Structure 1
Amino acid sequence: MKKITVLICICLCAASLFAQTVKKEDFWWKKNNLRVIQMNLPAYEGATIHADSIVADLEKYSANTLLINAGGIMAFYPTKLDFHYQNPYSTDNYILGDVIRKCHEKNIRVIVRFDFSRVHESIFKAHPDWCYISPKGERIINTDMYVVSINAPYVQEKAFKIIEEVISLFPVDGIFLNMPGYQVNNPYEGKYHGIDQNDYDKKRFTAFSGGMKLPTEENKADTLFQKYLEFKKQTVEDWSERLHKLVKSRNSQIAICTYSDKFVDIIRHESQSMTTLPYWPYTASDNVANAVNSFPEHIISNASIQQISFQSRYNAVEPQEVQIRLYENIANGSGLDLSMMGDMRGYEDERNYDVIRTVYAFHKKNEPYFGKYQSVAKIAVIAPGAWPSGEPMQEYRGIQLMLKEAHIPFDIIEDGQIAHLAEKVKNYKLLILPEITYLKPESLETLKQASRQGTHLIATSRSLFDSPETLQELFGAKIEKKDNDGAGNYLVPDDRRIFKRFPGQKMLFWKFNLGLYDLKGADQQLLPILAKGRPGPPEIIGGHDLTGYHAMGIKNHGKSKAVIFPVNLGKLYYVHGYQEHKNLLLDAIDYILPEAKETIQTNAPARVEVIVKEFVKNTDASREKKTSDGMILHLVNLTGFSGNTYFEPLPLYHLEFRIKSEKMPKKVFALANGRAVKFQTKDGFIHLELDKLEGFEGIVMEWN
């Protein structure tokens, strides 16, 4: 017995020493070469899954990481915990252990999935106090599963026991947490229920707030709700930190993966099917670019979700959409990630299989050129959070769309990360704020410092409306009416030294919000606003007189300019796509940052997504290297996207590119077709010619 005790102590000490001495660069996920296939198993597949067939499929599709169910909602292994509902189809076998063992034999990592958002009704009946209750006294129920409360004992205590049991039984490489945090919706039925009123939440919030009562309504203008948002943030981070300590004390090489950034190793995001028009074909670029620039110390894995919707899980999105998502992942610095219902055998919709096999094999073959990128962008677009929604999302996407179609490179930085990335932010030549309505004081100070140091600013719509002093200081703007229906108004592109893209146009129609701002504090007032005039038959129209207001102001600072468009510029383009509205932004950029259009010049159509990065070879030999090995030009062909349908992309011929670069390449070649690419170097530019572009191409320009 003494010998066993001594051996256990030695093992624990060794594990602790191992956890302390492993460099973060040596963690397996840091290589950033993930090729994930997630098998979201329905309960009944617990009886039919087979380790050999799963591994064979993963190898066939060049996957190097499996994400598969383990526990939470139900245990996919024989659990000994009475509060962990046992999957009735997998009660007496350890198939999960077989899957992990056989994956490891083929050098495939296994991340296991937990979902602690729900418990089975048998657990609810025994512990109703563990579960969510709405302000109306309702539960959130999906068949026989009840949503839990994050501050109740199931999440705060039992979840850790479940994780402990799994990582003690199985040598997992990572854990993935699905649906973490507070629940207010039943997303599977599209119904909002409200702030959880569980007694444990009430007591903890009262203690946190110094006696306040838990709010029942989500109102951002309410100071009580603002306090509740702080409470949610702190309690989620507290739980995440406890989980991190538990997992890393057992094995520092177990990766923690979920949708947040605190106390995790891999940030996961999702490209999902759109439920409203217009569809957004840049979801993967949007998600990955936001995350990799906002959280540069993390690895990003953006999942292409196969299903059409929660109500239509057995129908996959179109193969061409999946192809775009996967290539955009690669181009923006992520690995590959695909989430499907069940395993790959007998799947209900196999149309995407050829695309998956092709793109995953492409990534595997060319792995050294992916995953270690440095941006060349001079512009950053500020994102309204990690999961934008509503009008801010429309404004944000519209601005992205304008830049994408103009082939102007840009990074994305989440609004909440501005102050944390202050030095990086101040190095951009231009920051664009598309309806960024609120920033913390430290973020506002970062913007002011950037402006003083030479960074130009462009703000649109209601940006910074709750900081009038910042609007006045940076933009010379004062709000008179921030919400104003612009339907029927016109703008006049008056100064043709700035507005060069409007030959033959004297008036530009408007729609959506048209803020009425006092711009006398700006150095230039542009785009005079004309009144709505007289609607009606042709005989009586007219009367579009000057209102005295302007839709654009420019304030000169010592080393920079700040431009404000107090109008829904991005939303209007996102929803309707009129070129005249895009041209307003492009003319403004040309005026304050003319070199922006020099980074990439091409004859490629607007529907070709052009992404250029500097790269360091993703090999063990280059692990510590900081200087780049070259540039890579990613081309994603979106010509098959028609607005609400995805078709095969049209092949494009004789594309030319002119790329600004301080270094000149010794060799240029295409990854997809494997051929050398014609190039010339002259006056600080690399000139490339691509004979043909099909779905995707990556053109490598190696320095030596």
Structure 2
Amino acid sequence: MGKYWYQKQLRMVQTVLRETDIVNYNAKAVVEYLEKSNANCIIINAGGIVDFFHSGLDGANLNSFMTNEDILGDLVREAHAKEIKVICRIDFRGAEKDFFRAHPDWFSCEEDGSPKMMSSLIKSEVDIYLPCYNSRYMNEQAMEFTRSIFRQYDIDGIWENALGMPQGVCYCSRCREKYRKDMNKELPTAQQIKNPLVYEEYRKWKYQCALQHIDRIKNTVKEFGDDKAYAAEIFGFLRTAEREAINVLDLDMARDSFDYLVTPAMVSQEAAPASYASGLVYPGSIVKHMKMISKNKQSVLLFGNNGGTLRYVKDPVVENKIWLWEAVSAGGGFWNCLFNGQHPAATHDNRAAYISKPMYDFLHENENILEYNLPIAEAAIYVSKPTRDIFGNSLNFSKDQFCFNMKGIEKVLVEKHIQFVHIPGHINISLEELKPYRVIILPNVKCMSANEIEIFKEYVKEGGRIIASFETSLYDENGNKRNDFGLSEVLGVTSTGTVEDTTVDCYQLIKDTESALLKGIKDTQLLANAEHTLLVNALPGAKAVTTYIPVIRNQPPEKAWIRRMDTVYPVSLTNTFGKGTVVYFAFPIGRALYNYAHDDFVQLFENALDMTLEEDFMIKTNAPASVHIQVISTGEEQNGVMMSLVNHTGTMYRPVHQLVSVHQIEVDIKVPHSPKELRILKAESPVVFKETRNDDGTVTIKFVLDRLDVFAAVWMKM
């Protein structure tokens, strides 16, 4: 059987309609824009908060500007004539006052019975009453609304917007009854939910409610054929919810429920006012993460202006170009959400109308190569979902013990041009999922199940290498603290249970000057320390490279000393377990790399990578760290490898407004054998190839680029 359309490359455009955009809607002009943009799918408002067609349902919230228009019919007819798919956006995050008054029992409520309101979460000109995952409004009403669209129009799928809006504990009658039935107890009170154990129990239950809701909407869509697509809005793996809100949705849950994976990722990321919180390599990172979650589904990056905060004007152009080429280099598809209105010519700011066209053109021109692709990696970061859920907080750096660890680790991997992926960690991980990677990084992976621990033991015993930090494996998958590390004998340490605050005026004492972990570090007895340090004891055979020094206060200078710097507690340590090698840091080095990035932390972590990869990297290059290099495989049918370069070299501060070209870049890539074909997919200057056969039978291909302005890509058919 052939592939459904949503299993092929997706180049999407969403026209973000305001109520007034229904007036004189010009479907022909919209489709002309899609054709010029090389898009193959459009997402258009259908309804929920505001209906853009007559659903025929009781209580429909019809667009007040609607007369005799039939914009869905017009668009489906015009788009299908050009072989462009049409997805309808539904948004059942809430309803206005009149509908709520007619059906108050269809919505979410607080413990005292008062309704939950959107105004408590985001700014809005109107009061929106919120539903929950179990509510009639978000389920039966949404399901009937979806059926009414399919019955009237030959649309190709449904996009459920704002799926993550239901927040906090809901005390509606349905939730009370369902919790009583599922959990054999009453819903926790506002006071009880402050207990971490009660909180986790409720969060997991709510997670199941969210999954059940998703399946209800998906099954409704599939009533009209397996070729009809369903997906919904879920933010990326580095976007954790506020703990108080008890939001539970993440990309991992979508692997089975959605027909393709998509996540919003804006240059200025989800902030009010807009700010530049994410690094410019994030698009490639999130695309790779989606591909690792579900290797057979299309991965799509949703991008738009200013995180939705300043949605009427464009984001900085140069940053957008870097952002989009990053996603291309990882093999992702696109969802353009750049403007408000019918089409660019009918909106206020037309400057960004075609900023994504070069990327869409590139994907279209190389569709046969890039339709199916996966990242190639020598290193992997283990993404622990329980650690993220229990200890992550992307909105508050001081409280987070997951997100910023990930970002710091990625920063060094990117700058060293090391090819990496994220392993979606789970309690039933298998050895086969770990074996492809020469080194696996555990950035403070606090939560590990008994099975995960045994699998990692086996991985290292058979010759695998790991780099771990801080409290890795000190908690089980439910966040319960163990008496000691689950991976104690692998890491080569035991925990004392004491954590010292080493955020200020703290150092490490060098103990083993001959260790490869200290390569290039000379003329010093001390290194910087940071964050918090877990005091650990080394097991026999493990080698302490540096040790903990108690705080040395910096003021007054005359008193900035202590009598004894030497302690028995390792801060950095190497160990051998079976045939494998382990590097352990007793502080969260990922957070330190993100927040402080002192030379000592960078060099320690780079040396750990050199040790575990034995300096035998897939990519060797003279390109500066500001040039990001990514490699992906292009599927069994094409049996090829694409290597891309994205230039980040620019102005001193973000946002980047000007790129500086890099000249005479040499890149060596090691491949198993001679390519059958070498093809330049995109380059801004001549590219020269040279092939060298290695002693081990592999082949090194040297690429020399005379100049890199923004993006270049080459393809090798193997």
- What is the TM-score when the length of structure 1 is the normalising length? 0.88
Q: Which amino acid aligns with 1:34?
A: L
Q: Which residue of 1 aligns with 2:356?
A: 356
2:288, 2:375 within 8 Å by CA — same for their partners in 1?
Answer: no
Quote the offset at 1:269 in angstroms: 0.8
Corresponding position of 1:619: none
Q: If the length of structure 2 is used for normalisation, what is the TM-score?
A: 0.86
Shift of 1:150: 1.9
1:54 corresponds to: 30
* Unaligned runs of at least 5 residues, structure 1: 1-22, 185-193, 617-625
Superposition pairs of residues 291-330 of structure 1, within 5 angstroms? 291-310=290-309, 312-330=310-328
Farther off after superposition, 162-171 or 147-156: 147-156
Partner of 1:692: 707
Q: Which moved more, 1:329-338 or 1:541-550?
A: 541-550
Is the 8 Å Cα contact of residues 526 and 550 (structure 1) preserved in structure 2?
yes
Q: Note the C-alpha offset of 1:542.
A: 2.7
- Answering whether residue 79 of structure 2 is matched by residue 70 of structure 1, we say no
Q: Establish whether residue 379 from structure 1 lines up as the match of residue 372 from structure 2.
A: no
User: 1:679 is matched with which residue?
Assistant: 689
Determine helix, strand or coil for the equivalent of 1:119: coil
Once residues 505 and 680 of structure 1 are traced to their aligned partners in structure 2, the CA distance between those partners, rounded to angstroms, is 42
Residue of structure 1 equivalent to 2:258:
264
Work out whether residues 435 and 459 of structure 2, in 8 Å CA contact, stay in contact via their aligned partners in 1.
yes
Relative to 1, partners in 2 of residues 1:508 and 1:348: Cα closer, same or farther, differing over 3 Å?
A: farther
In 2, Cα distance between equivalents of 1:600 and 1:217: 54
> Deviation at 1:505?
3.8
Task: State the AA in 2 paired with 1:179.
Answer: A
1:187-242 deviation per Cα after TM superposition (whole angstroms, max 9, x unaligned)? xxxxxxx3222222122111110124335369696332222222122222222223
Letter in 2 for 1:699: V
Q: Does 1:584 align with 2:604?
A: yes
1:64 and 1:627, CA in 2 relative to 1: closer, same or farther beyond 3 A? closer
* 1:79 matches 2:55: yes
Per-residue deviation at 1:138? Answer: 5.6
Most deviating of 108-117 and 393-402: 108-117
Question: Which digits, 9 at most, give the CA deviation of each residue in 1:370-406, with x for residues without a partner?
Answer: 2322433121112355896234111110000000000
Distance 1:435 1:614 in 2: 30
Change (3 A) 1:442 1:405: same
Aligned to 1:545: 565
Q: Is the 8 A contact 2:470 2:585 kept in 1?
A: yes
Q: Aligned letter for 1:282? A: V
Alpha-carbon distance between aligned partners in 2 of 1:568 and 1:218, rounded to the nearest angstrom: 31
For the residues of structure 2 that align with 1:484 and 1:465, how far apart are their CA atoms? 18
- Give the match for residue 17 of structure 1: none
- Could you say which residue in structure 2 is the equivalent of 1:393? 403
Q: Structure 1, residues 343-396: CA drift from partner, whole Å, max 9, x if none?
A: 323433333334222222222222233232243312111235589623411111
Partner Cα distance (1:356, 1:395) in 2: 31
Q: Establish whether residue 427 from structure 1 lines up as the match of residue 425 from structure 2.
A: no
Q: 1:551 to 1:247 in 2, by over 3 A?
A: same
1:461 to 455, 459, 470: 470
Query: CA 1:30–1:550 in 2, change beyond 3 Å: closer, same or farther?
Result: same
- CA drift of 1:511 comes to 2.6
User: Which residue of the partner structure matches residue 528 of structure 1?
Assistant: 547
Aligned to 1:159: 142
Pick one of 450, 462, 484 that aligns with 2:501.
Answer: 484
User: Structure 1 counterpart of 2:598, which letter?
Assistant: Y
The alignment-based identity, stated in percent, is 24
Aligned length: 658
Quote the offset at 1:675 in angstroms: 7.2
Distance verdict in 2 for CA 1:552–1:221, change over 3 Å: farther
Determine helix, strand or coil for the equivalent of 2:536: strand
| Alignment partner, residue 598 of structure 1 | 617
Partner of 2:581: 561
Residues 61, 360 of structure 1: 8 Å contact kept? yes
**SS state of the match for residue 383, structure 1?**
strand
Q: Which runs of 5+ in 2 are unaligned?
A: 119-123, 235-253, 395-399, 477-483
Contact 1:656 1:689 in 2 (8 A): yes
2:69 paired residue number:
93
Q: Deviations over 1:431-468 (max 9, x none)?
A: 11112222344433432332333321211233222143
Shift of 1:521: 5.7
Give the structure 2 partner of residue 39 of structure 1.
Answer: 15
Partner of 2:91: 115
Contact conserved, 1:84 with 1:162, CA < 8 A, in 2?
Answer: no
Cα contact 1:278–1:574 (8 A) shared by 2: no
The alpha carbon displacement at 1:486 in A equals: 3.4
Q: Is the 8 A contact 2:443 2:590 kept in 1?
A: yes
Partners of 2:641 and 2:715 within 8 A in 1: yes
Q: Are the equivalent residues in 1 in contact too, given 2:264–2:302 (CA < 8 A)?
A: yes
Please give the per-residue CA displacement for 1:244-296, whole angstroms capped at 9, x wherever unaligned: 33222311101111233332111111212234665411221121111111221
Kept in 2, the 8 Å contact 1:407–1:609? The answer is yes
The SS at the match of 1:87 is coil
**Using the alignment, how far apart are the partners of 1:510 and 1:218 within structure 2?**
38
CA distance in 2, matches of 1:481, 1:503: 31
Aligned-pair CA distance for 1:489? 0.9
